[in-house]
Chain A
Amino acid sequence: MTTTTTPIDVDRLGPVAAGPVIRWLSGRALRRMRRLPSLFVPVILMPLFFVVAFTGSFDGVTRLDGFPTDELVNWIAAYSMLQGATMAGVGSAGVIATDLENGFLDRLLASPVPRMAILLGPLAYAATRALIPTTLVLLVAAAQGADMPGGPMGIVLVYAGTVGTSMVIGSLGLAVVLRIRRYQAISIVQMGAFLILFPSIGQVPLGLLTGWMSTAARVNPTTNVLRMTRQGFIGEVSWADTWPGLVVIAVGTVVFLTWARRELDRLAG
């Protein structure tokens, strides 16, 4: 008697099948991060260093006419958080690159696992990882005298901005690593991510920027995300400062995740 097996279209299994895989993959990545201090320490220390160093070094710029706050920490905190979130996003690229090099990704692709779950697992890890620097910077900023006139909604938007940023950068990282298929691709993701982050309103408001920086910051989508994340530190929360950031996060995640999915399908043959 012979038995025939019908290939399962795992992507048709839907979220019921994907959920546990995403949880397992993100949990595995988080456990790996906990075991490797070289991964864990920069995630915590660098954003904290940024908020302290930027606030300390450039404190004098708040004396410029037109600077919207007297305490630089109100301006810098969101920028430091987004840097932490960017690192978290790059971390998801690190996960897939490691799995690619050690052959685990091939085994995942050969197993009956929804393809999207293979991508969403590292993204869930990035989003969870982004919560750590966001919370720590929030606490340090509060200790440094940061205000939150935006109230609880301001804090919600802080988390929305950082988790969203980690998803966008994470999706981009997955796509680039799956395209290049080498661990070294992470450096490209890292460099690219910070090149997007720097020419923005990270340290100085748009009105005080000059020359090419003013133009770059105006068209840089990061400016919208920063505006959304930062608004609670500066004043009341407004929809006008919120929706452009949400659009950037949604569009960025969908576009880069679609690209990553296409690269994953190409890899699977």
Chain B
Amino acid sequence: MAESSSLVVRPTGEQARRGRFTVALEQIWVLTRRSVLATWRNPGSWVPGLVFPLGISAIYTAQFARAISLPGFPEVDSFLEFILPASVMQSIAFGSTNAGTDLAKDIETGFFDRLIASPVARQSILVGRIAGSAVFAALQAAVLVVVFVIFGAGMASGPAGALAVVLVATLLSVALGGFGIALGLRTGNQEATQSTFPLVFVLIFVSSAFFPTTLMRGWYRQVAEVNPFSLIIDPTRRLVIEDWSWADLGQAAGVSVAIAVVSLGLSYRQYLWRLRAT
């Protein structure tokens, strides 16, 4: 009871006239825009997420150019095509902690407390932050896809495939961002939230991101095959190197949404905890 009542914001006269839902949407829009602009104005938080995956792709494409002829390697024109989805997902993973660290910063600086004290719908604060990171992730993914295409990566399923890659990346950013937000809310500490990054880095490495699992051996292969990142990257990759398939889009998006449900549920719980603590 205490939890639900803490989420109720009594509408002011103006808000009541326009309808609570419309006001909440406006607040989400404002907070989303703030989140996107804050990220944009802090290049240190997103430039590495673009540069590092591009650098890794350039290096791996040159290093493993001959590996594409190995039996068991998917049929591709270049390693660049193979690595495209992995680079996009890696970029998203890089930025996944940003939403959490930004929220932790708001808590550290007291901005979060001021938002809570203001007549802003409680849900809008959380949704605005998640939507902000999702919008930025979509832009980042789109830029990466364009860069890859410019450098010669083919897109077998055409523009629809490119859009699908961006969609999956956006869903994944929500999924991973949810964990970052949960941690940011729990700790209220930027450094602690940022420290989860290596975990994501490890998870993405022990997957089919950079090499096909068919060419791996032993326990590593077993772990890579069941790694959720593989379950997202493999169908996304098929959209890039094979024809369009609703089933592949469904799998990649479905796994991302399933992870998002868990992470957002976790972040909502932490949000309620933070509201009680504030």
Contacts and interface: CB of A to CB of B under 8 A. Distances in A.
A53 B65 contact: no
A53 B195 CA distance: 20
Interface stretch (A15-23, A98-106, A130-138, A210-218): A210-218
Given A53-B202, A53-B205, A59 B216 contact: yes
A56 interface: yes
Contacts of A63: 70, 215
Contact of A58 (B55, B206, B210): B210
Contacts of B70: 60-61, 63-64
- Classify the interface of chain A: helix, strand, loop or mixed: helix
B13 interface: no
A213 B72 contact: no
Interface in A170-229: 195, 198-199, 203-204, 208-214
Contacts of B205: 49, 53, 57
Interface of B: 55, 59, 62-67, 70, 72-73, 195, 198, 202, 205-206, 210-212, 215-218, 220-221, 224
B62, B72, B215: which has the most chain A beta carbons within 10 Å? B62
A211 B65 contact: yes
Contacts of B198: 42, 45-46
Contacts of A203: 63
Given A42-B198, A58-B211, A59-B217, A53 B67 contact: no
A209 B63 contact: yes
A214 B64 CA distance: 11
B228 to A, nearest CB: 17
A212 B66 CA distance: 14
A60 B59 contact: no
A61 B63 CA distance: 10
B210 A56 contact: no
Nearest to B223: A56
- The 9 A-B pairs with the shortest beta carbon distances in the complex, nearest first, are A60-B215, A56-B220, A213-B62, A210-B65, A53-B205, A204-B63, A57-B211, A198-B59, A59-B217
Contacts of A3: none
A209 B202 contact: no
Given A42-B198, A49-B202, A56-B220, A64 B62 contact: no
A111 interface: no
Nearest to A212: B62
A2 interface: no
B64, B215, B217: which has the most chain A beta carbons within 10 Å? B64
A38 B217 CA distance: 32
Given A38-B195, A49-B202, A64 B67 contact: yes
Interface in A111-150: none
Contacts of B221: 56
A265 B227 CA distance: 53
Contact of B216 (A57, A64, A209): A57
B54 to A, nearest CB: 13
B120 to A, nearest CB: 34
Given A42-B198, A63-B215, A211-B65, 15 more contacts: A49-B205, A53-B206, A55-B220, A56-B217, A56-B220, A58-B210, A59-B220, A60-B73, A61-B70, A63-B70, A195-B55, A209-B62, A212-B62, A213-B63, A214-B62
12 contacts: A46-B198, A49-B202, A53-B202, A53-B206, A55-B220, A57-B205, A57-B206, A60-B72, A60-B73, A64-B66, A195-B55, A199-B59
